[in-house]
Structure 1
Amino acid sequence: MALAEAACRGRLLLWPRVVLFGDSITEYSFQEHGWGTFLAQRLVRKCDVLNRGFSGYNTRWAKLLLPRLIPAGAGAESIAAVTLFFGANDSALEELNPKQHVPLEEYAANLKSMVQYLGSVGITEDRVILITPPPLQEAAWEQACLAKGDRLNRRNATAGQYAQACVQVARACGTEVLDLWTLMQKDQDFSSYLSDGLHLSAEGNSFVAAQLWARLREKLSALPSLGPYWRDVDHTDPETSLL
């Protein structure tokens, strides 16, 4: 059978999508042992996991970019879940890092705006997960800043304020939330979760992967594997099985 004829006979195999939207912590998530890599492995043949991380971005810029990433009428119904993972840059100290800093109230408004935009294109709040910034290990991040000739430009307490705002937005909008700032500091030293005081270490990636998967598993558990299991293919008449 010609391939063109087979394409006409068979149903399209359309992969649902999980979109990871965030800053560098999302962009780096597809590195070896990253939390995005973990999700992609768990969802192979069920979902395409798309990395839409933008290093250095804040919610002010992300809000403008989101409609270009997920435009109206462009198959948004096939998106099974979206994560919004911002705040590490928004919470930078204004006096030392004005380019990335976003005031707390605007940060919350931007998150709410993005959730509302997703709803306007058909991605309901039950398919959205907000992720707070992780805690900041100030001593390690200060060393990273000094190596670049800068001063310490973030504070853990400030990151906590943005994390709390993220949690409040999630509650107001009816989305799920993964409060990393709180969970990573609960009854333990969180420094092992961070590679440089800000970004995730291998252990931090494993922590995020486990916490996020616990929230995604139920949402995505009903998705079937795409394509029949190879032992179920009729080798004498594969067209019957595959088309």
Structure 2
Amino acid sequence: MALTEAGARARLLRWPRVLLFGDSITEYSFQENGWGAYLAERLVRKCDVVNRGISGYNTRWAKLILPRLITESTDSIVAVTIFFGANDSALKELNPKQHVPLEEYAANLKSMVQYLKSVDITVDRIILITPPPLQESAWEKACLAKGDKLNRCNATTGQYAQACVQVARECGTDVLDLWTLMQKNQDFSSYLSDGLHLSTKGNSFLASQLWSRLENKLSALPSLLPYWRDVDHTNPEASLL
């Protein structure tokens, strides 16, 4: 069969999508041993895991670009993670560009959830993730190496994490409270590479926690296309089109 003829007969094969939306902790998640790469491996043949992490961004900027990432109602998106707060919680007097006031941060998260609902992504497909805890001494070293002062503190980050949890409660979405969960281990610094971003151990921890929430949502998804032993080699069109 000619390829043009096969194309005319075939139904378009659409891979469902999991959208990861966040800042640098999401952008870096496809690096070796990253939490996004882990999800992609677990979901291969079932969905595409799409990385839309943008380093340095906060919720004020994120809410503006979300409608450019998802422009219309779609049933192909089976899950969305919204993972911001590490930049919003920067101290205003030392990092005014990234800082977003706490109340605005919460309002921005609500706005993004409401937008997703407006394009028919139901709340059961949305997971909010709080910022991780900040290891101040390590992050201070990273700041000083760039000629900056320590521009974040863990107590403030915790307020943003609590606001994220509250937004999830009010909106009816799932939430992964990374800030609290990581600090159940007294030495949470091992989860962080520089006091702010995730280490290999931190990526593994987040991947495990997130998968425990996604697995129930995505367990019913079938593997796409038949197993190779099940393809009729005498008539592959019957199996594949």
TM range (shorter): over 0.9
The equivalent residue for 1:45 is 45
Cα deviation, residue 11, structure 1:
2.0
The equivalent residue for 1:202 is 200
Cα deviation, residue 10, structure 1:
2.1
1:161-201: CA deviation from partner (whole Å, max 9, x where unpaired): 00000000000000000000000001431000000000000
Query: Where do residues 49-64 of structure 1 align in structure 2 (5 Å cutoff)?
Result: 49-64=49-64
Aligned partner of 1:154 among 137, 147, 152? 152
The equivalent residue for 1:119 is 117
The equivalent residue for 2:182 is 184
Q: Residues of 2 paired with 1:203 and 1:197: CA distance?
A: 13
1:90 counterpart letter in structure 2: D
1:37 counterpart letter in structure 2: A
Counterpart secondary structure, 1:57: coil
Q: Which runs of 5+ in 1 are unaligned?
A: none
TM-score calculated relative to the size of structure 2: 0.99
Between 1:205-214 and 1:4-13, the stretch displaced more is 4-13
Q: Which runs of 5+ in 2 are unaligned?
A: none
Structure 1 runs (4+) deviating above 4 angstroms are none
> Is residue 223 from structure 1 mapped to residue 200 from structure 2 by the alignment?
no
1:34 counterpart letter in structure 2: G
Counterpart secondary structure, 1:61: helix
The equivalent residue for 2:212 is 214
Q: Residues of 2 paired with 1:101 and 1:174: CA distance?
A: 26
The equivalent residue for 1:86 is 84
Between 1:209-218 and 1:6-15, the stretch displaced more is 6-15
Aligned residues: 241
The alignment-based identity, stated in percent, is 82
> Is residue 131 from structure 1 mapped to residue 129 from structure 2 by the alignment?
yes
Aligned partner of 1:239 among 234, 237, 240? 237
Superposed CA RMSD: 0.7
Q: Residues of 2 paired with 1:237 and 1:187: CA distance?
A: 57
